[in-house]
């Protein structure tokens, strides 16, 4: 077998390769890029946005075959039940700690230095994007408070071919992301263990304006550690827009949101949100997601007696 080719890219190229974003971890699909036989330490293949595609292309980023490049055997994104895990959100692997010993990594997803209060009002020499937002990193926002939120979802199956919207459950949300490179997500304490060969996870993001109204989805091999519960996750339902009335929010396990695609869209919005901006689905309270671990995703079964008819009901 021909040994893999290791591609080392100079910093000057990395600086010019600013693209979009994904969450980096050795347990991800496309970690080494999407070219057979090559290990690309500067890959950005998994960061490409997904817009107006057929499901066969957007689902787990098949558009450029990222789903065909699984992580190395034994590499998993570890999810400690009741704890938290960290990933690196960046526009390519070259500006993370997972390339060149982190030589080109900074606090930010683009490998540059920005002020802590970075915004369109404090650009520190950076240009605005054509839509009047931060151009680098390309985080589709004007400031941290407007960052729409990102999420992780899990399917208790071990093969991508077995994952569907009906078994892929959002289990963790982080408001006001993407923002800085190192990002931490919380895991529900009641998460059960995965099958022996692990689970499949997805990182998802729908930007709040500032350019093309696209979405992001990438895959991971993952496993739950320190699991104590055996209660399974429930069947997720599609989220709905509920910013104006929280009583409309979907309770319990929720699907990831598929938006602005040629097929499979499971959420529709129109008009303006409460801030006067065009509505855009988001992994935050606007669509019923709480910040942090989603602790309402598990099945519950109660046997109750009807007071009058004494019939048994299961909920």
pLDDT tens digits for range 109-153: 999 999 999 999 999 999 999 989 999 999 999 999 999 999 999
Please give the share of the chain, as a percent, with pLDDT higher than 70: 89
pLDDT of residue 219 exceeding 60, the answer is yes
Q: Tell me which residue range forms the domain holding 300.
A: 1-315
Beta strands in the chain (DSSP E): 5-7, 22-24, 38-40, 77-80, 84-90, 150-155, 169-174, 182-186, 199-205, 216-225, 292-293, 303-305, 312-314
Domain count, the chain: 1
Half-sphere exposure of 219 (CA within 13 A, CB side): 29
pTM over 0.85: yes
pLDDT tens digits for range 233-277: 999 999 999 999 999 999 999 999 999 999 999 999 999 999 999
Confidence of residue 300 (pLDDT cuts 50, 70, 90): confident
- How far is Cα 158 from Cα 163, in angstroms, rounded to an integer? 9
- How far is Cα 171 from Cα 204, in angstroms, rounded to an integer? 12
Confidence of residue 20 (pLDDT cuts 50, 70, 90): very high
- How far is Cα 223 from Cα 306, in angstroms, rounded to an integer? 41
- How far is Cα 96 from Cα 106, in angstroms, rounded to an integer? 8
């Amino acid at each position: 077998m021909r040994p893999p080719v290791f591609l080392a890219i100079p910093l000057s190229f990395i600086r010019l390769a600013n693209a979009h974003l994904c969450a980096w971890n050795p347990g991800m699909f496309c970690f080494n890029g999407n070219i057979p036989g090559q290990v690309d330490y500067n890959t950005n293949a998994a960061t490409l946005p997904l817009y107006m595609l057929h499901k066969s292309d957007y689902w787990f980023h098949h558009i450029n075959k990222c789903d065909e490049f699984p992580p190395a055997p034994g590499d998993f994104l570890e999810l400690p039940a009741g704890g938290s895990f960290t990933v690196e959100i960046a526009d390519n692997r070259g500006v993370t700690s997972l390339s060149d010993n982190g030589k080109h990594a900074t606090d930010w997803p683009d490998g540059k230095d920005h002020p802590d209060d970075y915004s369109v009002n404090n650009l520190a020499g950076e240009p605005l994007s054509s839509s009047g937002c931060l151009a680098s990193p390309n985080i589709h926002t004007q400031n941290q408070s407007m960052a729409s939120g990102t999420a992780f979802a899990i399917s208790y199956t071990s093969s991508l071919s077995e994952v569907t919207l009906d078994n892929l459950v959002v289990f963790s949300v982080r408001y006001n992301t993407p923002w800085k490179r190192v990002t931490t997500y919380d895991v529900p304490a009641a998460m059960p263990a995965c099958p022996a060969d692990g689970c499949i996870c997805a990182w998802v993001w729908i930007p709040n304006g500032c350019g093309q109204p696209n979405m992001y989805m990438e895959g991971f091999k993952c496993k739950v550690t320190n699991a104590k519960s055996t209660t399974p996750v429930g069947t997720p339902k599609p989220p709905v827009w509920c910013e104006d009335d929280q009583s409309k929010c979907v309770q319990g396990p929720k699907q990831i949101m598929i938006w602005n695609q040629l097929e499979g869209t499971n959420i529709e919005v129109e008009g303006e949100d409460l801030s006067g901006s065009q509505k855009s689905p988001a992994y935050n309270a606007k669509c019923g997601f709480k910040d942090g671990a989603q602790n309402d995703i598990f099945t519950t079964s109660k046997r109750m007696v009807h007071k009058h008819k004494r019939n048994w009901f299961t909920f």
